[in-house]
Structure 1
Amino acid sequence: MNEMNDERREPMTVYETPLVASYEKEMSAFRSQSSRGNGIPNKRRSGVSFSAYLASFLVGAMLVGGFGYAADRSNLFGGDSSGSDTSGGSSTQTASGITAASLKSKGDIANVFESASPAVVKIENYAVQTYSSRGLFGGRGGSQQRSTSEPMLAGSGTGFFYSTDGYILTNEHVIADADELKVTVQGYDEPLTAKVVGASYELDLAVLKVESPDGQAFPALKLGDVDQTSIGDWVIAIGNPYGLDHTMTLGVLSAKGREITIADEQGPHKYVNLLQTDASINSGNSGGPLLNEQGEVVGMNTAVNAEAQGIGFAIPSSVIKEALGKLMNTGPVVS
């Protein structure tokens, strides 16, 4: 019986039903007609009418059916369906008393995105482009290094405010070699110019700073405790994949403590202790937040396995917290 069922019911006594009395009467008649002399059963069936067989069968069927109906009404073989979960939580109480897990409503996820999205920014990396040119008509002038006069867009990524006074976290590779950084913030018509406070190539982390044109505080995200996040928990990624601003993807935390190696312009770059998720992460998501169901940052989206589907990686919030002190105090570049 279900523990939530407080109502007690007396079991139905079968011998008190009129159906049983009728059944016994018909069976007595059947036995008296199918036996002769000294109680020896008659091997022939000619002495018993078809109607007697039929009556016995019908009475038996009515008895079993009546007991089954009473058992259903009395809830003899299962939990009380009235004991279902009415608390509005994330579980469903079944008739057998088993509690089944269920997903939270889509509204919860939408609320996380609505609350977190204003703190997520788009970062554009502008750099002066250089190129080589040979001497006129292929003469002995040799090659010459030339550069554009104005910085040109070299790449873009994502970042997020972790402080209301304008401090932004992102990946180091998003801002590497930049001559100018432009940050697009929701609510402002023009991008804001950012300066690099500190950066670490090894950790692939960077802190930027922008000033508020109107003196208003910026929305900020809280750095959560990744140790409280378990494999299988829902996580939400927000970023600007391929320039598509404020794209949200949803998945689960697939694994912790991953090690990967990525080849970049400086050679193989080894990452350790990464989070793995199947939330879609693409080019442009780098530097964006990976959020738990409470809207807290548990990781920073960093890399994706291009040869697979649903294998993305993020720097855990524990590493970010540990590095923040150095990034804030040791200058633009930290090894």
Structure 2
Amino acid sequence: MDDQNRRNGYDDFFREGDSERRSEEGDPKAQRGYEQEREQHEQEQHERERHEQEGPQANASERPSHYYTYGPFKTGGGAQGAGTDAYPRAASSERLTRQEDVQITPPAQERGFAPVGKSQPRQSAGWQVREKSRTSFKAIAISFLAGVLLVGGLMAAADYQNWFTSAGPLAQETETASAVTAGGNSSDASTSLANVVMDRPDNIANIFEASSPAVVKIETFTRSGTGASGSDSMDFFRQFFGDEYTTPTPNGNGSGQGELTPLGLGSGFIFEDTGYILTNQHVIGDAERIEVTVQDYAKTFEAKLLGSSYELDLAVLKIEGDEPFPTLPLGDSDSIEIGDWVVAIGNPHGFDHTVTVGVLSAKERPISIPDEQGTRNYEHLLQTDASINPGNSGGPLINTSGEVIGINTAVSSQAQGIGFAIPTSTIKSVLDSLKNNEDIPIPFIGATLLDMNEQYAEQLGIENAEGALVEGVLYNSPAYQGDLRQFDVIVGLNGEGHATASELVEAIKTQKVGDTVTLNVVRGGRELELEVVIGDRNDFASALQR
């Protein structure tokens, strides 16, 4: 009877719990939990009855111990009491029948930890791993600009306020530039920034202002009926600048006979204040009248030709005036280096006093230009990329110190930026002769020379491929009279070896007309020494004309 009552009590307890929880609709998982609990209580009740029937002799260690998973109720074996439960049955029945003391709830599901990402929705509650916020591009740009302004401001302040040095770079540069301008000597002048700036053409305006008054325009005239007198000069002029310039011709009806006709236009510069002018020979040619225009002078001056050299393409003119003329000094062309800045001033195409700027492109350039009078063989020319045009011929090529280092003479008509100037090293050696209208002696021996090479040496049976091969000998020239022959190889002059023909020619030009020299020659495998008297090319040309 007691067992039946206890069972009914448990049934009533679970029925009351079920009746209250049926109102919680939509929770089938909780409903299954209630059924499991009920079955577990019934199983435990049967287990207690079985132990009571077996008696106190039953081994306490064989009784299983159970823990409720939903509350503080625990069944025990003999460890809690002699064959009794840890909690009396009456107390257990009383506690189980009181709903206000115990509420049966299913075990809560454990929550896992997972980052919130694109593949998993964010949780509204519980633990979450928040995604790191990203910095916007606007914030990065603002930070960068702020850093630039800060660093730039600090650099400028350090430079101008001399935070790290006792004398800032700007002050040092200014002091060095002032010392150089005043002519002071400084051991660091060659490497200072001030010198580098001074070597640049930033003083072109000053150079032009100081040099331009001494640069003159030269116009030549010839008689209408004697156009042939200037034709050679004009043909030669076309060799430099193409076919733009033509020889003037008389009027078709012949009414212009005897009148002066413009022949050519060029430039020059005054090198002595008494009126001495230096220009190219091809500018004046065979002109019958030469007129010179000087800046700041209202009238033109008729110039007199003092002396000229066809071979060197140089001429000196003289004008007369009441006051000293402005002049340009002659500098040293050997001191200028390739890459140095140069300034050209002249009258290209009649545009008075035009200035162009460039650099020295090369030195020691040889060119040859033939015309009806012969062939002009230029040597040691300065090459520049300063613009040179028709009308620039005879004008000065000036360095950054305001000194003339050359006379603008020629330009390649098939190229751009290739102009040539006669160096002052050549001009100075003959300037006095030109002023005094004296013939300029040109030392020569009268032989045409070629550079030796391996092919010539093999054909002549010579082991050494150095020296000058004699291509030809002029009749009755100094070389002819000294028994120099075609296919001889000149290897030296006065015992000093010369590997090329150009070296030998330069050595001959250093000799004086009338000097006797010894040519070291190889002929047919034999070494010979020939004595030759240095002659004057001008005299030899005059003799041929007679």
Task: Mark yes or no: TM-score above 0.5.
Answer: yes
TM range (shorter): 0.5 to 0.7
Give the alignment of 1:119-158 within 5 angstroms: 119-130=214-225, 148-158=257-267
Please give the secondary structure, in 1, of the residue aligned with 2:434. Answer: helix
For 2:277, the equivalent position in structure 1 comes to 168
Q: In structure 2, how many angstroms separate the alpha carbons of the residues matched to 1:218 and 1:266? A: 35
Q: How far 1:130 moved relative to its partner? A: 2.8
Structure 2 gaps, min length 5: 1-112, 116-127, 134-143, 163-167, 179-191, 228-253, 442-537, 539-546
Q: Measured at CA, do residues 236 and 106 of structure 1 come closer, stay the same or move farther in structure 2, by a change above 3 Å?
A: closer
Distance in 2 of aligned mates of 1:331 and 1:178: 20
> What is residue 329 of structure 1 aligned with on the other side?
436
- Name the SS for the 1:198 alignment partner: strand
Q: How does 1:33-52 map to 2 (within 5 A)?
A: none
| Whole-angstrom distance in 1 between the partners of 2:371 and 2:224 | 19
Aligned residue number for residue 204 of structure 2: 109
Deviation string for 1:239-275 (max 9, x for gaps)? 0111111111000000000011112232332111000
**Bigger CA radius of gyration:** 2
Counterparts of 2:285 and 2:389, CA distance in 1: 19
Q: Higher helix share goes to which structure?
A: 2
Relative to structure 1, the CA distance from residue 50 to residue 229 in structure 2 (aligned partners, 3 Å threshold; closer, same or farther) is farther
Cα distance between partner residues in 2 of 1:103 and 1:50: 69
Shift of residue 84 of structure 1?
A: 3.5
Distance across 1 between alignment mates of 2:114 and 2:204: 74
Q: Which residue of 2 aligns with 1:211?
A: 320
Q: Which runs of 5+ in 1 are unaligned?
A: 1-43, 55-64, 91-97, 133-144
Matched, 1:261 2:368: yes
Q: CA deviation at 1:146?
A: 11
Supply the AA of the counterpart residue of 1:84: P
- Which amino acid in structure 2 is aligned with residue 125 of structure 1? T
1:131–1:147 Cα contact (<8 Å) kept: no
Q: Are the aligned partners of 1:120 and 1:239 in contact in 2 as well (CA < 8 Å)?
A: yes
Does the alignment pair 1:231 with 2:338? yes
TM-score by length of 2: 0.42
Paired with 1:208 and 1:116, the residues of 2 have a C-alpha distance of: 19
Moved over 4 A (4+): 80-83, 98-107, 332-335
Aligned 1:235-246 pairs, distance under 5 A: 235-246=342-353
1:167-212 alpha-carbon deviations (Å, 9 max, x no partner): 0000011111011111011122221011111111110001111000
Q: Give % identity.
A: 51
Q: 1:330 Cα shift?
A: 3.7
CA shift, 1:226, in A, is: 1.1
- Aligned partner of 1:35 in structure 2 is none
**Counterparts in 2 of 1:191 and 1:284: CA distance versus 1, 3 Å:** same
Q: Secondary structure at the match of 1:189?
A: coil
1:196 touches 1:332 (CA, 8 Å); kept in 2?
Answer: no
Query: Match of 2:286?
Result: 177
1:102: Cα distance to partner? 5.2
Q: How many pairs does the alignment contain?
A: 258
CA drift at 1:149: 1.2
**Equivalent residue for 2:391?**
284
Q: Secondary structure at the match of 1:162?
A: strand
- Secondary structure at 1:325 match in 2: helix
What secondary structure does 2:272 align onto? coil
CA distance in 1 between counterparts of 2:382 and 2:267 reads 18
Could you report, residue by residue, the CA deviation over 1:102-133 in whole angstroms, capped at 9, with x for unpaired residues? 5768761101001100000011111123369x
Q: Deviations over 1:73-103 (max 9, x none)?
A: 9x9xxxx75553442459xxxxxxx979557
CA RMSD, Structure 1 to Structure 2 (Å): 3.8
Q: Which residue identity is paired with 1:327?
A: L
CA distance in 2, matches of 1:99, 1:189: 45
Amino acid at match of 1:181: I
Deviations 1:29-78 (A, max 9, x none): xxxxxxxxxxxxxxx998xx968x99xxxxxxxxxx9xx99xx79x9xxx
**Equivalent position of 2:57 in the other structure:** none
Counterparts of 1:61-100 in structure 2, within 5 Å, are 81=159, 83-86=168-171, 87-88=173-174, 89=177
What SS does the corresponding residue of 1:187 show, helix, strand or coil? Answer: coil
| More relative contact order, 1 or 2 (CA 8 Å, 6+ apart) | 1
**Which residue does 2:213 correspond to in 1?**
118
Tell me the distance in 2 between the aligned counterparts of 1:45 and 1:166.
103
Asked if 1:316 corresponds to 2:423, the answer is yes
Q: CA deviation at 1:333?
A: 8.1
Deviations 1:281-309 (A, max 9, x none): 01110100000011100000000001000
Q: Is the 8 A contact 1:130 1:146 kept in 2?
A: no
